[in-house]
């Protein structure tokens, strides 16, 4: 194999759209892979498996971008760190029609911004019902006030263009940092 | 005209400056709207009228009609650019103008006027000017109107922006609840040539047919449409500056194209001049200025005097994985995703 492999991480609470987003841009049907939970401190059953979403963008013979969807529950956050290590970027998905969207956003933002990596972080805000409980301006100000000037985009990850917008932003941020 | 202490009417007019520098036009616009907004909130029954009928005239420093107005018995409120003693004029208002200043002013001058009624001796021959008017097609009128509402509004207040006397936009402080009339939604640039007014609403009741539009998108679209060329810097955006992004616009709601994503990302990483931004992103100067104006209108940009050189601030953290061929990979990924 002579491929250079890269990765992009999709994270966020359960039901936020990780599997859907990966499906929108993956060149292979997204699969669930299992990974052993070997952290007994966190989970008592050593044999518990953790489901990860996995997809791939296969550009040509030379490059592959692996797409990982993290397990949503916070008790698996040790997995988040492993996955995010060396990633090109992290996409946090949040459902803005849920009451707890703001708290979820703060949790995920703090966690991923805290991981010692300089990967760009993009927040994708979807509305899975017609209730706009949290609008992007309010959430953007909320995390800004906490010290995070991160992009928050209103998206529908069922649409490929909305997912590529976030990927493109990751690429642009990498390029802007490179110059 | 009006006189007599027993029935002193509280009439006020904002005199349009005779020669409008860019910044004065903006201040005029702001004052214009603030007066309308504050009218109902003051302790006194202010009436907004033409200069000819006004007991109180708000005039810009350097307006050569001031002496005439003053000697005809009117109270002058001088709009000045720096705080210094206002000659023999009692009242001044200083840039940058805040809505609270205007409210204070209306209360103070109202109290003064009731205690010291004025008798106007002669009607000056100046051209009439009304506070609520913006000339049709006035460059930044629409954008200023929208911006002013968002800058000043409290969550309880709703505003309508009228174009040629018809309400077309309904705004609240909650950006996600703004609405636009159907006809203008599809032909936004039409709004640019209309005569714009803003009004405080008792209740927020746009018609059923009005379309929900995000406030940021409204500001954004009108900023882009207002910017006609590369020299067209919006009045609130400092000139001779280098710019950096403070907070991100919602590029999803704006359905951003690749070029806009590139510009905003560049601005997120470092302070740049408009020229550097154009160069780094391969866009054109007008588009760059339009986007800086739009970001400025949304309060999303930071500016510093441009004497500071750019290179020292560009040290961003390197990306996590950047081996040889990284930029080749990015290019290939873009091509693959059709970006
Ligand atoms: N309306 C809407 N529904 C979405 C969006 N993203 C995901 N969904 C739906 O939400 C449900 C959960 O999505 P899924 O991708 O399984 O979430 P995950 O648990 O994060 O992997 C699915 O029924 C999706 O179709 C979105 O942006 N808008
Ligand atoms: Mg899933």
Cβ separation of B246 and A150 shorter than 8 Å?
Answer: no
Give the pLDDT band (50/70/90) at residue A47: very low
Between helix B285-297 and helix B274-281 the angle, nearest 10°, is: 120
Lowest mean pLDDT among A143-147, B141-145, B240-244: B141-145
Residue B338: list chain A partners with CB under 8 A. Answer: 164
Q: B252 CB near a chain A CB, below 8 Å?
A: yes
Q: Is any atom of ligand 1 closer than 6 Å to the C-beta of A19?
A: yes
Closest ligand to Cα A22: 1
% of chain B at pLDDT higher than 70: 83
Look up the ipTM and state it: 0.91
pTM of the model: 0.71
- By the 10 Å C-beta count (0-12 exposed, 13-18 middle, 19+ buried), B273 is classed as middle
Cβ separation of B252 and A153 shorter than 8 Å?
Answer: yes
pLDDT for B228 beyond 90 = no
Query: For the residues A104-131, what does the mean pLDDT come to?
Result: 91
Between helix A101-114 and helix A136-145 the angle, nearest 10°, is: 40
Q: Is any atom of ligand 1 closer than 6 Å to the C-beta of A129?
A: no
Q: Is any atom of ligand 1 closer than 6 Å to the C-beta of A9?
A: no
Two tokens, residue B168:
């077309």
- By the 10 Å C-beta count (0-12 exposed, 13-18 middle, 19+ buried), B289 is classed as buried
Two tokens, residue A19:
């599997």
- Following DSSP, what letter does each residue of chain A receive, concatenated? ---EEEEEEEE-STTSSHHHHHHHH-SS--EEEEEE---TTT-S-TT-EEEEEEEEEE-SSSEEEEEEE--SSGGGHHHHHHHHTT-SEEEEEEETTSTTHHHHHHHHHHHHHHSS----EEEEEE-SSS--SS-HHHHHHHHHHTT----EEE--TTSHHHHHHHHHHHHHHHHHHH-
Cβ separation of A176 and B265 shorter than 8 Å?
Answer: yes
Q: Alpha-carbon distance B219 to B216, whole Å?
A: 5
pLDDT given at position A33: 76
pLDDT given at position B317: 45
Q: Is any atom of ligand 1 closer than 6 Å to the C-beta of A15?
A: yes
Atom of ligand 1 nearest to the CA of A69: 21
pLDDT given at position B250: 95
* Contact yes or no for B168/B203 (Cβ under 8 A): no
Cβ separation of A172 and B265 shorter than 8 Å?
Answer: yes
- Output b/e per residue, B121-143; b: 16+ Cβ within 10 A: eeebebeebebbebeeebbbbbb
How confident is the model over B7-40, as pLDDT tens digits? 778 899 998 877 666 677 788 888 888 898 888 8
Query: For the residues B260-272, what does the mean pLDDT come to?
Result: 96
How confident is the model over A32-46, as pLDDT tens digits? 876 655 544 444 444
Distance in Å, CA B25 to ligand 1 centroid: 49
pLDDT for A1 beyond 50 = no
CA distances A52 to A22, A36, B309, Å, are 11, 11, 47
What domains can you pick out in chain B, each with its CATH number?
3-115 (3.40.50.2300), 141-226 (no CATH), 230-339 (1.10.10.10)
How confident is the model over B70-107, as pLDDT tens digits? 888 889 998 887 766 555 567 888 888 888 889 989 98
Give the pLDDT band (50/70/90) at residue B322: low
pLDDT for B325 beyond 80 = no
Q: Alpha-carbon distance A70 to A153, whole Å?
A: 20
Q: Is any atom of ligand 1 closer than 6 Å to the C-beta of A17?
A: yes
Q: B259 CB near a chain A CB, below 8 Å?
A: no
Distance in Å, CA A9 to ligand 1 centroid: 16
Atom of ligand 1 nearest to the CA of A12: 20
Atom 11, ligand 1: which residue's CA is nearest? A15
Cβ separation of A178 and B248 shorter than 8 Å?
Answer: no
pLDDT given at position A103: 97
How confident is the model over A126-136, as pLDDT tens digits? 999 988 899 99
Atom of ligand 1 nearest to the CA of A162: 27
Higher-scoring residue by pLDDT: B297, A61: B297
């Amino acid at each position: 194999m002579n491929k250079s492999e890269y990765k992009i991480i999709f994270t966020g609470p359960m039901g936020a759209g990780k599997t859907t987003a990966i499906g929108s841009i993956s060149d292979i049907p997204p699969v669930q892979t299992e990974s052993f939970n070997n952290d007994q401190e966190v989970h008592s059953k050593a044999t518990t498996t953790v489901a990860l979403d996995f997809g791939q963008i296969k550009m040509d013979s030379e490059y592959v971008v692996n797409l990982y969807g993290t397990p949503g529950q916070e008790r698996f956050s040790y997995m988040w760190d492993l996955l995010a290590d060396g990633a090109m970027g992290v996409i946090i998905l949040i459902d803005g029609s849920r009451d707890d969207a703001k708290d979820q956003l703060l949790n995920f933002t703090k966690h991923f911004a805290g991981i010692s990596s300089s990967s760009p972080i993009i927040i994708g805000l979807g509305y899975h019902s017609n209730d706009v409980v949290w609008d992007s301006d309010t959430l953007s100000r909320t995390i800004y006030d906490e010290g995070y000037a991160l992009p928050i985009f209103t998206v529908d990850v069922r649409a490929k263009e909305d997912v590529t917008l976030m990927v493109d932003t990751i690429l642009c941020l990498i390029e802007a940092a490179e110059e | 005209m009006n006189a007599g202490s027993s029935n002193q009417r509280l009439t006020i007019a904002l005199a349009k400056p005779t020669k409008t520098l860019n910044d004065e036009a903006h201040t005029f616009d702001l004052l214009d709207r603030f007066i309308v907004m504050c009218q109902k909130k003051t302790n006194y029954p202010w009436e907004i009228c033409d200069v000819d009928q006004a007991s109180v005239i708000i005039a810009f420093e350097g307006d050569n009609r001031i002496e005439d107005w003053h000697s005809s018995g009117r109270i002058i409120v001088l709009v000045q650019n720096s705080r210094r003693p206002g000659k023999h004029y009692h009242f001044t208002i200083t840039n940058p103008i805040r809505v609270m200043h205007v409210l204070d002013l209306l209360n103070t001058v109202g109290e003064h006027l009731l205690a010291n009624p004025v008798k106007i001796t002669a009607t000056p021959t100046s051209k009439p000017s009304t506070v609520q008017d913006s000339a049709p097609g006035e460059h930044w009128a629409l954008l200023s109107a929208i911006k002013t509402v968002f800058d000043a509004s409290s969550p309880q207040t709703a505003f309508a922006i009228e174009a040629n006397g018809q309400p077309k936009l309904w705004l609240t402080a909650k950006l996600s609840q703004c609405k636009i009339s159907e006809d203008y939604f599809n032909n936004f640039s039409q709004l640019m040539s209309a005569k714009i007014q803003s009004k405080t609403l008792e209740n927020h009741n746009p018609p059923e047919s009005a379309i929900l539009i995000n406030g940021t998108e409204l500001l954004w679209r009108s900023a882009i449409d207002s910017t006609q060329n590369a020299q067209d810097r919006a009045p609130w955006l400092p000139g001779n500056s280098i710019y950096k992004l403070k907070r991100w616009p919602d590029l999803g709601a704006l359905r951003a194209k690749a070029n806009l994503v590139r510009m905003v990302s560049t601005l997120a990483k470092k302070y740049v001049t408009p020229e550097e931004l154009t160069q780094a992103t391969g866009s054109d100067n007008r588009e760059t200025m339009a986007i800086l104006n739009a970001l400025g209108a949304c309060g999303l940009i930071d500016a510093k005097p441009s004497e500071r050189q750019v290179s020292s601030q560009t040290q961003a953290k390197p990306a996590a994985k950047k081996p040889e061929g990284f930029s080749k990979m990015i290019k290939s990924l873009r091509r693959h995703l059709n970006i």
